[in-house]
Amino acid sequence: MINPCAEPIPEDILERTKKMSSSLLSDGAKFISAFIPQDGCLGAACKPVGAGMQVLGTALTVQTFGGSIYPIQVAIKYAKPGYVLVIDGGGCQDRAYAGDIVFSACQAVGLNGFVIDGYTRDISGTVALGFPVFSTGITARGPVREKCGSVNIPIRCCGVTVYPGDLVLGDADGVVVIPREHILAVLNSAESKIAFEENRRKMISDYCSAKASGRELPEIVPQWALDLLEDA
């Protein structure tokens, strides 16, 4: 089954998201009224294959099985710039689904990154490309070419259901996927968390400054924790 790509996420939304880390975006998902499983975080096994890799874009989903690269190649054929391949590898740990040649093709057609619940290979070449790849493992054994799978259907990737058109953000801490219908609420929540974190950093900085100069120490514990302490 091959379905067309979902509408791309608007550029103004992506610009707001660029200011976020995966941790901050996940916190935003945690603190909205809608329930988002795992706060949008893919399982911890899904990691960048190289240091400094970051990815942001609209989900282009792929389902494949048994180490078959075929559905991935089909997705690349129909891909559009700005999308991120998000792939359910069907639990296969016997083969790598892709390596640096496939990632070169992804980069050439304008994909923003590659996220897979499955294994990859050619890590040195991939890092040299500068193309963001997140996978659950690495093995030298290559893929097969079986006609199986689907493109742009709902999938399960590292414990999270991902739909075509969802928001994908990945960095050193992992990958977060936000359902399209909740993106604005999550961003608003995450932006509020930015203000909270800036205030906490100032509290800690003021504490360190006062300690160094011998002045009276200000409070370093956030108010919510003090309130809980009083209620204990």
Q: What pairing do the DSSP bridges indicate for beta strands 47-48 and 167-171?
A: unpaired
d(CA 232, CA 216): 27
Residues 6 or more apart in contact with residue 166 via CB below 8 angstroms: 58, 59, 86, 177, 178, 179, 180
Please tell me the number of Cα atoms within 13 Å of 146 on its side-chain side.
Answer: 12
Q: What is the pLDDT of residue 195?
A: 81
Q: What is the pLDDT along the chain (232 residues), one digit of tens a residue?
A: 899 999 999 999 999 999 999 999 999 999 998 899 999 999 999 999 999 999 999 999 999 999 999 999 999 999 999 999 999 999 999 999 999 999 999 999 999 999 999 999 999 999 999 999 999 999 999 999 988 899 999 999 999 999 999 999 999 999 999 999 999 999 999 998 888 888 888 888 888 887 788 777 667 777 766 666 666 5
**pLDDT at site 232:** 57
d(CA 133, CA 99) in angstroms, rounded, equals 10
- DSSP β-ladder status, 167-171 and 113-120: unpaired
Q: Which amino acid is at 147?
A: K
Instruction: Rounding to the nearest 10 degrees, give the CA dihedral for residues 109, 110, 113, 117.
Output: -30
Q: Please give the structure tokens belonging to residue 87.
A: 């792939």
The rounded distance, in Å, linking the Cα atoms of 185 and 40 is 13
Taking a C-beta distance cutoff of 8 angstroms, is the pair 29, 40 a contact?
Answer: yes
pLDDT value of position 160: 97
Are the C-beta atoms of 156 and 64 separated by less than 8 Å? no
Model pLDDT, residue 87: 98
- Domains in the chain and their CATH numbers? 11-182 (3.50.30.40), 187-231 (no CATH)
Model pLDDT for residues 26-41, shown as the tens digit of each residue: 999 999 988 999 999 9
- Find out whether 145 and 116 touch, Cβ atoms under 8 Å: no
Summarize pLDDT for 36-73 with one digit per residue, the tens. Answer: 999 999 999 999 999 999 999 999 999 999 999 999 99
Question: What is the model's pTM?
Answer: 0.89
Amino acid in position 168: V
pLDDT at 204: 85
